[in-house]
Amino acid sequence: MEAEISTNKRQTAFRLNEGLIEALKIKARHANRSLNNYVESILLDAVYNTPNEETRQAIEEARSGKSAGKLDMSNYDAFLKSLNAIK
C-alpha cells in the first residue's frame, strides 16, 4: 500500500506516560529532530511501513525455525565453522 502523506496537519492532544514522553524527547534530541517530528515519523512507520512479500516470507521462515542451525559458541573457530554449516 502506497502511503499518501498529506502536508495538511491537524493539532491534536494525547495523554502519555511522563516517562514515555521523556524517553521520546531524549531519542528525538539524539536524532536532531523535534519531538513532534520524531513521534510523527514513528507513527508513519507503524501505519505505512508494510513488508513486501519476500520480507514476509523471510520473517515467517525465521519464526518457524526450519532453517535454523545450531551455533557452537564454545570458541571463535567453532562458531565460524558452525555458522558456515548453516549456509
pTM value is 0.54
For 10-53, the pLDDT digits (tens) are 999 999 999 999 999 999 999 999 999 999 999 999 998 888 99
How far is residue 75's CA from residue 79's CA, in Å, rounded to a whole number?
Answer: 6
Written as one string, the DSSP assignment of 12-69 is ------HHHHHHHHHHHHHTT--HHHHHHHHHHHHHH----HHHHHHHHHHHHTTT--
User: What local confidence, expressed as pLDDT, does residue 1 receive?
Assistant: 45
Question: Lowest-pLDDT range, 3-12, 28-37, 55-64?
Answer: 3-12
Asked whether residue 3 carries a pLDDT value surpassing 60, the answer given is no
